[in-house]
Amino acid sequence: MGLFSDLMAKIFHHADAAQAAPAPVSAGSTAAAPIAAAPAVVDVTAILDKLAAENSQKLDWRHSIVDLMKLVGIDSSHGARTALAAELGFTGDTGDSAAMNIWLHKQVITKLAANGGKVPQELLN
């Protein structure tokens, strides 16, 4: 599994856990549960905001790829970010960590949105 797939799985796992909770059934209900639910959009913002609120560190996932990676429990070292950048097709200078980090954050947010994640519109522009 690639780094982006791992990151996405860690975020989307929180949505899966919330959806796995059984819905309350009222007494006398005869409605059958659906066989397969339509894929839901995963509210990435709600998940990451909740994780940030529960974290003892002040992590700004909306602006920092390092903080986003830390928030979901993924190695955020320069080496890990360089590997993620290579996986996502970064062609710039990996020695320019500021430029790489900005590019990475934009790519990760865009790819989360492309894979069923609901993210703030201002982060997609």
**What would the pLDDT profile of 66-124 be if each residue is shown by its tens digit?**
999 999 999 999 999 999 999 999 999 999 999 999 999 999 999 999 999 999 899 88
**The whole model's pTM is what?**
0.80
Is the pLDDT confidence value at 13 over 50?
Answer: yes
Question: C-alpha distances in angstroms, 106 versus 86, 100, 109, 113, 125?
Answer: 14, 10, 5, 11, 9
Angstrom distance (rounded) from CA 70 to CA 68: 5
* Pair 102, 68: CB distance under 8 Å: no
Contacts by 32-39, CB closer than 8 A, 24 or more apart: 39/116
Instruction: Indicate if the pLDDT at residue 35 is higher than 70.
Output: no
Residue 104, burial from CB neighbour count under 10 angstroms (0-12, 13-18, 19+): buried
CB atoms within 10 A of CB 22: 6
Q: Above 90 in pLDDT, residue 57?
A: yes
Which amino acid is it at 13?
H
